[in-house]
Amino acid sequence: MKTATTVGIQKKQFAFHAGLQQFLAFGSLILLVIFFSIASSNFFHFSNIVGILLSTAVIGVLALGATFIIVTGGIDLSVGTVMTLSAVMTGVFITMWGLPVWVGVIGGLLTGALCGLISGFVIARLGIPPFIATLAMMMIAKGLALVISGTKPIYFTDNEVFMEIALGSVLGDLIPGFDIPNAVLIFFLAAIIGSIVLARTIIGRYNFAIGSNEEATRLSGVDVRKWKIIIYMIAGLFTGLAGVLMASRLNSAQPALGMGYELEAIAAVVIGGTSLNGGKGSIVGTVIGALIMSVLTNGLRIMSVPQEWQTVVVGLVILLAVYADILRRRKA
Protein backbone atom coordinates (compact mmCIF):
# COMPACT_ATOMS: atom_id res chain seq x y z
CA MET A 1 0.00 0.00 0.00
CA LYS A 2 1.32 3.41 -0.89
CA THR A 3 1.21 6.31 1.48
CA ALA A 4 -0.49 9.54 0.49
CA THR A 5 2.81 11.38 0.08
CA THR A 6 4.43 8.94 -2.36
CA VAL A 7 1.32 8.89 -4.48
CA GLY A 8 1.30 12.68 -4.51
CA ILE A 9 4.85 12.70 -5.81
CA GLN A 10 4.01 10.21 -8.53
CA LYS A 11 1.11 12.30 -9.68
CA LYS A 12 3.24 15.42 -9.94
CA GLN A 13 5.85 13.56 -11.97
CA PHE A 14 3.21 12.31 -14.31
CA ALA A 15 1.86 15.78 -15.01
CA PHE A 16 5.39 17.07 -15.44
CA HIS A 17 6.34 14.45 -18.02
CA ALA A 18 3.14 14.87 -20.02
CA GLY A 19 3.79 18.60 -20.28
CA LEU A 20 7.44 18.07 -21.11
CA GLN A 21 6.67 16.32 -24.40
CA GLN A 22 4.98 19.39 -25.90
CA PHE A 23 7.45 21.76 -24.29
CA LEU A 24 10.54 20.03 -25.70
CA ALA A 25 9.31 20.13 -29.30
CA PHE A 26 8.11 23.71 -29.01
CA GLY A 27 11.32 24.76 -27.27
CA SER A 28 13.41 23.22 -30.06
CA LEU A 29 11.38 25.09 -32.67
CA ILE A 30 11.94 28.42 -30.87
CA LEU A 31 15.65 27.67 -30.45
CA LEU A 32 15.96 26.88 -34.18
CA VAL A 33 14.22 30.13 -35.12
CA ILE A 34 16.48 32.12 -32.79
CA PHE A 35 19.56 30.32 -34.08
CA PHE A 36 18.79 30.97 -37.76
CA SER A 37 17.77 34.57 -37.03
CA ILE A 38 21.18 35.21 -35.53
CA ALA A 39 23.04 33.17 -38.17
CA SER A 40 21.48 34.99 -41.12
CA SER A 41 19.84 38.36 -41.33
CA ASN A 42 17.67 37.09 -44.19
CA PHE A 43 15.85 34.53 -42.06
CA PHE A 44 13.49 36.46 -39.82
CA HIS A 45 11.70 38.39 -42.57
CA PHE A 46 7.97 38.41 -43.09
CA SER A 47 8.34 37.08 -46.63
CA ASN A 48 10.67 34.28 -45.55
CA ILE A 49 8.45 33.26 -42.64
CA VAL A 50 5.47 33.17 -45.01
CA GLY A 51 7.56 31.07 -47.37
CA ILE A 52 8.32 28.62 -44.58
CA LEU A 53 4.66 28.40 -43.62
CA LEU A 54 3.59 27.91 -47.24
CA SER A 55 6.08 25.12 -47.73
CA THR A 56 4.82 23.49 -44.52
CA ALA A 57 1.17 23.54 -45.56
CA VAL A 58 0.98 20.47 -47.81
CA ILE A 59 3.25 18.21 -45.74
CA GLY A 60 1.58 19.58 -42.63
CA VAL A 61 -1.94 18.65 -43.73
CA LEU A 62 -0.65 15.24 -44.77
CA ALA A 63 0.95 14.81 -41.37
CA LEU A 64 -2.33 15.68 -39.61
CA GLY A 65 -3.96 12.63 -41.18
CA ALA A 66 -0.90 10.51 -40.47
CA THR A 67 -1.16 11.49 -36.79
CA PHE A 68 -4.59 9.87 -36.54
CA ILE A 69 -3.26 6.64 -38.02
CA ILE A 70 -0.08 6.56 -35.97
CA VAL A 71 -1.95 7.17 -32.71
CA THR A 72 -3.88 3.94 -33.38
CA GLY A 73 -0.53 2.17 -33.61
CA GLY A 74 -0.86 1.86 -37.39
CA ILE A 75 1.08 3.39 -40.24
CA ASP A 76 0.00 4.80 -43.60
CA LEU A 77 2.55 4.60 -46.38
CA SER A 78 0.03 5.58 -49.03
CA VAL A 79 -0.54 9.23 -48.09
CA GLY A 80 2.01 10.55 -50.61
CA THR A 81 0.61 8.87 -53.69
CA VAL A 82 -3.02 9.08 -52.56
CA MET A 83 -2.41 12.82 -52.31
CA THR A 84 -1.26 12.76 -55.93
CA LEU A 85 -4.24 10.68 -56.99
CA SER A 86 -6.55 13.20 -55.28
CA ALA A 87 -4.82 16.03 -57.13
CA VAL A 88 -5.19 14.18 -60.42
CA MET A 89 -8.88 13.50 -59.79
CA THR A 90 -9.40 17.17 -59.01
CA GLY A 91 -7.74 17.91 -62.37
CA VAL A 92 -9.97 15.38 -64.11
CA PHE A 93 -13.13 16.94 -62.66
CA ILE A 94 -12.17 20.55 -63.32
CA THR A 95 -9.97 20.53 -66.43
CA MET A 96 -11.06 17.41 -68.32
CA TRP A 97 -14.76 17.39 -67.48
CA GLY A 98 -15.14 21.15 -67.02
CA LEU A 99 -17.03 20.80 -63.74
CA PRO A 100 -17.18 23.72 -61.28
CA VAL A 101 -14.21 24.22 -58.96
CA TRP A 102 -16.14 23.28 -55.82
CA VAL A 103 -17.09 19.93 -57.37
CA GLY A 104 -13.42 19.31 -58.18
CA VAL A 105 -12.39 20.16 -54.64
CA ILE A 106 -14.99 17.85 -53.11
CA GLY A 107 -14.03 15.18 -55.65
CA GLY A 108 -10.41 15.47 -54.53
CA LEU A 109 -11.36 15.22 -50.84
CA LEU A 110 -13.59 12.22 -51.48
CA THR A 111 -10.86 10.47 -53.49
CA GLY A 112 -8.63 10.67 -50.45
CA ALA A 113 -11.42 9.56 -48.11
CA LEU A 114 -12.30 6.63 -50.39
CA CYS A 115 -8.68 5.44 -50.47
CA GLY A 116 -8.59 5.71 -46.67
CA LEU A 117 -11.83 3.78 -46.42
CA ILE A 118 -10.43 1.00 -48.60
CA SER A 119 -7.17 0.84 -46.62
CA GLY A 120 -9.17 0.82 -43.40
CA PHE A 121 -11.38 -1.98 -44.67
CA VAL A 122 -8.43 -4.08 -45.78
CA ILE A 123 -6.71 -3.57 -42.43
CA ALA A 124 -9.70 -3.92 -40.10
CA ARG A 125 -11.83 -6.48 -41.92
CA LEU A 126 -9.30 -8.60 -43.80
CA GLY A 127 -6.71 -8.36 -41.06
CA ILE A 128 -3.82 -7.35 -43.31
CA PRO A 129 -1.15 -5.44 -41.35
CA PRO A 130 -1.25 -1.65 -41.93
CA PHE A 131 2.30 -1.61 -43.30
CA ILE A 132 1.44 -4.07 -46.07
CA ALA A 133 -2.08 -2.79 -46.76
CA THR A 134 -0.94 0.79 -47.21
CA LEU A 135 2.18 -0.24 -49.13
CA ALA A 136 -0.20 -1.86 -51.61
CA MET A 137 -2.40 1.23 -51.58
CA MET A 138 0.69 3.35 -52.24
CA MET A 139 1.44 1.38 -55.41
CA ILE A 140 -2.18 1.26 -56.53
CA ALA A 141 -2.69 5.00 -56.08
CA LYS A 142 0.58 5.76 -57.85
CA GLY A 143 -0.35 3.57 -60.79
CA LEU A 144 -3.90 4.92 -61.00
CA ALA A 145 -2.67 8.51 -60.92
CA LEU A 146 -0.42 7.77 -63.89
CA VAL A 147 -3.09 5.82 -65.77
CA ILE A 148 -5.83 8.41 -65.27
CA SER A 149 -3.64 11.35 -66.17
CA GLY A 150 -2.04 9.55 -69.09
CA THR A 151 1.30 10.06 -67.28
CA LYS A 152 1.19 13.75 -68.16
CA PRO A 153 0.53 16.67 -65.79
CA ILE A 154 -2.98 18.10 -65.84
CA TYR A 155 -2.89 21.93 -65.86
CA PHE A 156 -5.57 24.17 -64.43
CA THR A 157 -4.86 26.75 -67.13
CA ASP A 158 -6.52 30.09 -66.73
CA ASN A 159 -8.41 28.87 -63.70
CA GLU A 160 -7.83 31.83 -61.36
CA VAL A 161 -10.39 30.60 -58.85
CA PHE A 162 -8.67 27.25 -58.34
CA MET A 163 -5.26 28.87 -57.91
CA GLU A 164 -6.72 31.23 -55.30
CA ILE A 165 -7.47 28.25 -53.04
CA ALA A 166 -3.82 27.91 -52.03
CA LEU A 167 -2.16 31.11 -53.13
CA GLY A 168 -4.83 33.75 -52.68
CA SER A 169 -4.98 35.53 -49.38
CA VAL A 170 -8.28 36.01 -47.63
CA LEU A 171 -6.36 37.36 -44.65
CA GLY A 172 -4.52 39.86 -46.88
CA ASP A 173 -7.86 41.13 -48.18
CA LEU A 174 -9.12 41.63 -44.65
CA ILE A 175 -5.95 43.07 -43.16
CA PRO A 176 -3.87 44.95 -45.74
CA GLY A 177 -0.23 43.92 -45.70
CA PHE A 178 -0.92 40.66 -43.86
CA ASP A 179 -0.60 38.56 -47.01
CA ILE A 180 -0.60 35.07 -45.60
CA PRO A 181 -1.59 32.59 -48.33
CA ASN A 182 -4.81 30.65 -47.94
CA ALA A 183 -2.89 27.37 -47.94
CA VAL A 184 -1.37 28.36 -44.60
CA LEU A 185 -4.74 29.41 -43.27
CA ILE A 186 -6.28 26.12 -44.41
CA PHE A 187 -3.44 24.19 -42.78
CA PHE A 188 -4.03 25.87 -39.43
CA LEU A 189 -7.81 25.51 -39.68
CA ALA A 190 -7.40 21.83 -40.53
CA ALA A 191 -5.04 21.48 -37.58
CA ILE A 192 -7.58 23.06 -35.23
CA ILE A 193 -10.35 20.79 -36.49
CA GLY A 194 -8.05 17.75 -36.32
CA SER A 195 -6.99 18.69 -32.83
CA ILE A 196 -10.59 19.01 -31.67
CA VAL A 197 -11.56 15.68 -33.23
CA LEU A 198 -8.57 13.91 -31.68
CA ALA A 199 -8.78 15.50 -28.24
CA ARG A 200 -12.45 16.20 -27.69
CA THR A 201 -14.63 13.72 -29.58
CA ILE A 202 -15.49 10.08 -29.19
CA ILE A 203 -13.50 9.28 -32.36
CA GLY A 204 -10.37 10.63 -30.71
CA ARG A 205 -11.02 8.70 -27.51
CA TYR A 206 -11.37 5.45 -29.39
CA ASN A 207 -8.32 6.43 -31.40
CA PHE A 208 -6.17 6.60 -28.27
CA ALA A 209 -7.82 3.56 -26.69
CA ILE A 210 -7.10 1.41 -29.77
CA GLY A 211 -3.52 2.66 -29.90
CA SER A 212 -3.05 2.00 -26.20
CA ASN A 213 -4.35 -1.57 -26.23
CA GLU A 214 -6.41 -2.70 -29.18
CA GLU A 215 -7.44 -6.07 -27.76
CA ALA A 216 -8.47 -4.67 -24.40
CA THR A 217 -10.51 -2.03 -26.22
CA ARG A 218 -12.21 -4.71 -28.31
CA LEU A 219 -12.95 -6.75 -25.20
CA SER A 220 -14.51 -3.66 -23.66
CA GLY A 221 -17.23 -3.97 -26.25
CA VAL A 222 -15.89 -1.37 -28.66
CA ASP A 223 -16.42 -2.18 -32.33
CA VAL A 224 -12.74 -1.66 -33.05
CA ARG A 225 -13.02 -2.65 -36.72
CA LYS A 226 -15.67 -0.04 -37.42
CA TRP A 227 -13.73 2.70 -35.68
CA LYS A 228 -10.50 1.84 -37.43
CA ILE A 229 -12.19 2.15 -40.80
CA ILE A 230 -13.61 5.52 -39.75
CA ILE A 231 -10.20 6.68 -38.55
CA TYR A 232 -8.47 5.66 -41.80
CA MET A 233 -11.21 7.46 -43.70
CA ILE A 234 -10.70 10.65 -41.71
CA ALA A 235 -6.97 10.43 -42.39
CA GLY A 236 -7.81 9.96 -46.08
CA LEU A 237 -9.87 13.15 -45.98
CA PHE A 238 -6.79 15.08 -44.82
CA THR A 239 -4.77 13.41 -47.58
CA GLY A 240 -7.35 14.51 -50.15
CA LEU A 241 -7.15 18.05 -48.80
CA ALA A 242 -3.37 17.97 -49.16
CA GLY A 243 -3.86 16.86 -52.77
CA VAL A 244 -6.16 19.78 -53.54
CA LEU A 245 -3.74 22.24 -51.90
CA MET A 246 -0.82 20.76 -53.81
CA ALA A 247 -2.66 20.99 -57.15
CA SER A 248 -3.75 24.53 -56.46
CA ARG A 249 -0.29 25.62 -55.39
CA LEU A 250 1.39 24.16 -58.48
CA ASN A 251 -1.63 25.07 -60.62
CA SER A 252 -1.36 21.54 -61.97
CA ALA A 253 -1.69 17.92 -60.95
CA GLN A 254 1.70 16.27 -61.29
CA PRO A 255 1.16 12.47 -61.43
CA ALA A 256 4.85 11.70 -60.96
CA LEU A 257 5.09 13.59 -57.65
CA GLY A 258 4.07 12.21 -54.29
CA MET A 259 6.40 9.32 -53.52
CA GLY A 260 8.46 10.16 -50.45
CA TYR A 261 5.94 12.64 -49.05
CA GLU A 262 4.57 9.88 -46.78
CA LEU A 263 7.94 9.51 -45.08
CA GLU A 264 8.24 13.26 -44.56
CA ALA A 265 4.76 13.28 -43.06
CA ILE A 266 5.67 10.41 -40.73
CA ALA A 267 8.88 12.23 -39.81
CA ALA A 268 6.89 15.35 -38.87
CA VAL A 269 4.56 13.25 -36.70
CA VAL A 270 7.45 11.51 -34.96
CA ILE A 271 9.41 14.72 -34.34
CA GLY A 272 6.21 16.07 -32.82
CA GLY A 273 6.39 13.41 -30.13
CA THR A 274 3.74 10.97 -31.33
CA SER A 275 4.78 7.42 -30.51
CA LEU A 276 4.92 4.89 -33.35
CA ASN A 277 3.72 2.34 -30.79
CA GLY A 278 0.42 4.15 -30.65
CA GLY A 279 -1.63 5.53 -27.82
CA LYS A 280 0.31 8.77 -27.45
CA GLY A 281 0.47 11.88 -29.53
CA SER A 282 -1.09 15.20 -30.40
CA ILE A 283 -1.95 17.35 -33.38
CA VAL A 284 -0.14 20.33 -31.81
CA GLY A 285 2.99 18.18 -31.70
CA THR A 286 2.62 17.28 -35.36
CA VAL A 287 2.20 20.95 -36.38
CA ILE A 288 5.36 21.79 -34.44
CA GLY A 289 7.12 18.77 -35.98
CA ALA A 290 6.21 19.87 -39.51
CA LEU A 291 7.35 23.43 -38.73
CA ILE A 292 10.67 22.19 -37.33
CA MET A 293 11.34 20.35 -40.60
CA SER A 294 10.57 23.38 -42.80
CA VAL A 295 12.43 25.83 -40.57
CA LEU A 296 15.41 23.52 -40.67
CA THR A 297 15.49 23.14 -44.47
CA ASN A 298 14.76 26.82 -45.03
CA GLY A 299 17.34 28.00 -42.51
CA LEU A 300 20.03 25.68 -43.83
CA ARG A 301 19.31 26.83 -47.37
CA ILE A 302 19.65 30.47 -46.34
CA MET A 303 22.96 29.59 -44.72
CA SER A 304 23.93 28.12 -48.12
CA VAL A 305 24.16 24.54 -46.88
CA PRO A 306 23.84 22.30 -49.96
CA GLN A 307 20.53 20.50 -50.33
CA GLU A 308 22.11 17.08 -49.94
CA TRP A 309 23.38 18.08 -46.50
CA GLN A 310 20.01 19.49 -45.50
CA THR A 311 18.56 16.01 -45.90
CA VAL A 312 21.33 14.56 -43.73
CA VAL A 313 20.54 17.08 -41.00
CA VAL A 314 16.82 16.29 -41.10
CA GLY A 315 17.69 12.62 -40.69
CA LEU A 316 19.79 13.40 -37.64
CA VAL A 317 17.01 15.51 -36.17
CA ILE A 318 14.58 12.60 -36.45
CA LEU A 319 17.02 10.39 -34.52
CA LEU A 320 17.52 13.10 -31.92
CA ALA A 321 13.80 13.69 -31.45
CA VAL A 322 12.99 10.02 -30.99
CA TYR A 323 15.98 9.44 -28.73
CA ALA A 324 14.92 12.35 -26.53
CA ASP A 325 11.52 10.72 -26.31
CA ILE A 326 13.05 7.38 -25.29
CA LEU A 327 15.21 9.02 -22.63
CA ARG A 328 12.20 10.80 -21.21
CA ARG A 329 10.19 7.60 -21.09
CA ARG A 330 13.00 5.69 -19.43
CA LYS A 331 13.08 8.23 -16.64
CA ALA A 332 9.33 8.28 -16.28
Partner 1 sequence: MSQTVVRMEGIEKHFAGVHALKQCQFDLRAGEVHALVGENGAGKSTMMKVLTGVYQKDEGRIIYHGNEAHIPDTRTAQKLGISMIHQELNLALDLTVAQNIFIGKEPRKAIRLFLDDKEMNRQTAILLKQMNLDIEPTALVSELTVAKQQMVEIIKAISYDSQVMIMDEPTAALSDTEIDELFKMIDQLRAKGVGIVYISHRMAELKRITDRITVMRDGTYIDTVNTAEVSIDRIIAMMVGREIYQPAKPDRQKSNDQEHVFEVRNLNRGKGVKNVSFTLGKGEILGVAGLVGAGRTETARAIFGADPIDSGEIFVHGRKVQINGPHQAVMHGIGYLSEDRKHYGCLLEMDVKTNVALASLGKFTKFFSWMNDKHMASASKKVVEDLKVKTPGIGQMLKNLSGGNQQKVIIGKWLTRDCDILIFDEPTRGIDIGAKSEIYKLLESLAAEGKSIIMISSELPEILRLSHRIIVMCEGRITGELINDDSATQEQIMTYATDRIS
- Least Å distance between CB 81 and partner 1? 31
For residue 127, state whether it binds partner 1 (rule: CB under 8 A). Answer: no
Decide if residue 2 touches partner 1 (CB under 8 A). Answer: yes
Nearest CA-CA partner of 98 in 36, 164, 158: 158
Q: What is the CA radius of gyration of the chain?
A: 21
Helix axis angle for 307-331 and 283-302, nearest 10°, is 140
In the complex, what is the shortest distance from the CB of residue 158 to partner 1, in angstroms, rounded to a whole number? 40
Asked if 228 is part of the footprint of partner 1 (rule: CB under 8 A), the reply reads: no
Residues 273-292 that bind partner 1 (CB under 8 A): 279-280
Beta carbons of 260 and 59 less than 8 angstroms apart: no
Q: Does 328 bind partner 1 (CB under 8 A)?
A: no
- CB–CB of 247/94 below 8 Å? no
Does 7 engage in binding with partner 1 (CB under 8 A)?
yes
Closest approach of partner 1 to the CB of residue 218, in Å: 6
CB of 10 or CB of 151, closer to partner 1: 10
Residues 192-221 that bind partner 1 (CB under 8 A): 200-206, 208-209, 212-213, 215-221
Closer CB to partner 1, 13 or 151, in the complex: 13
CA dist 265 to 25, 65, 68, 260, Å? Answer: 16, 9, 12, 9
What is the C-alpha to C-alpha distance for residues 27 and 33, in angstroms, rounded to an integer?
A: 10
Q: Is 310 in the site for partner 1 (CB under 8 A)?
A: no
Question: Residue count at the site for partner 1 (CB under 8 A)?
Answer: 34
Residue 155 per-residue DSSP state: E
Residue whose CB is less far from partner 1, 4 or 126: 4
37 Cβ contact list (under 8 Å, min separation 6) = 43, 44
